[in-house]
């Protein structure tokens, strides 16, 4: 777990993570509203040569072209509806996953089924300084630390 005190630090953490990504990587971002999930994604995007990333809350999913395609999904509205599994299936993420980096905000169990190899990042903002933890699952993420 690491402490993140400023937006610049969150962006820099994303850039650090982004520098190690490759096609097929799946990242699930979890944390409350305003935790910094999209800012972390912007940092990841910067490492992939992508600018202009905004929250896909109302469009659910955006594809950004860079060194690797970045698929950015916000599953918040899907979870509220209670049909997240069906809607995620409709996005056909599993077919694009091998060629892209896929980031799912609010990526719970519904998104976890997309790959056994995934990085699950949790942002806790219950204190003034955010606490970010990551759990790497599968062979791809064995030994990963923030």
pLDDT per residue as tens digits for the range 7-40: 999 999 999 999 999 999 999 999 998 999 999 9
Residue 138: CB atoms within 10 Å? 12
Assess if residue 130 is contained within a domain.
no
The CATH number of the domain where 78 resides is what?
3.40.50.300
Show the domain range for 81.
Answer: 11-122
- Provide φ and ψ at 52, rounded to 5°: 80, 20
Assess if residue 137 is contained within a domain.
no
Question: What total number of domains does the chain contain?
Answer: 1
Assess if residue 91 is contained within a domain.
yes
CA dihedral sign, ordered 132, 34, 12, 93:
positive
Q: What is d(CA 100, CA 106) in angstroms, rounded to the nearest whole number?
A: 19
Percent of the chain scoring above 90 in pLDDT: 56
Mean pLDDT of 76-101: 60
- Is pLDDT above 80 for 75? no
Name the residue among 112, 111, 118 with its Cα closest to residue 136: 118
What pLDDT shows up at residue 111?
72
What pLDDT shows up at residue 88?
55
What pLDDT shows up at residue 86?
44
Q: Give the up-direction half-sphere exposure of residue 5: CA atoms within 13 A in the CB hemisphere.
A: 0
80 contacts: CB under 8 Å, gap ≥ 6: none
The pTM (predicted TM-score) of the whole model is 0.86
Assess if residue 128 is contained within a domain.
no
What Å distances lie between residue 84 and 14, 67, 78, 98, 107, CA to CA? 26, 29, 5, 21, 10
What pLDDT shows up at residue 16?
97
Assess if residue 144 is contained within a domain.
no
H or E segment and range at residue 86? helix 84-91
Assess if residue 140 is contained within a domain.
no
């Amino acid at each position: 777990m690491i402490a993140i005190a400023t937006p610049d630090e969150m962006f820099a953490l994303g850039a650090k993570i982004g520098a190690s990504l490759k096609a097929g990587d799946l990242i699930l971002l979890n944390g409350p509203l305003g935790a910094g999930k999209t800012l972390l994604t912007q940092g990841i995007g910067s490492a992939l040569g992508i600018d202009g990333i905004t929250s896909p809350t109302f469009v659910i999913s955006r594809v950004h072209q860079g060194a690797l395609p970045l698929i950015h999904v916000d599953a918040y509205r899907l979870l509220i509806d209670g049909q997240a599994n069906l809607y995620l299936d409709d996005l056909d993420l599993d077919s694009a996953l091998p060629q892209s980096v896929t980031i799912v905000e609010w990526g719970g169990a519904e998104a976890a089924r997309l790959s056994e190899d995934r990085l699950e990042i949790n942002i806790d903002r219950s204190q003034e300084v955010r606490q970010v933890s990551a759990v790497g699952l599968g062979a791809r993420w064995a030994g990963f630390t923030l």
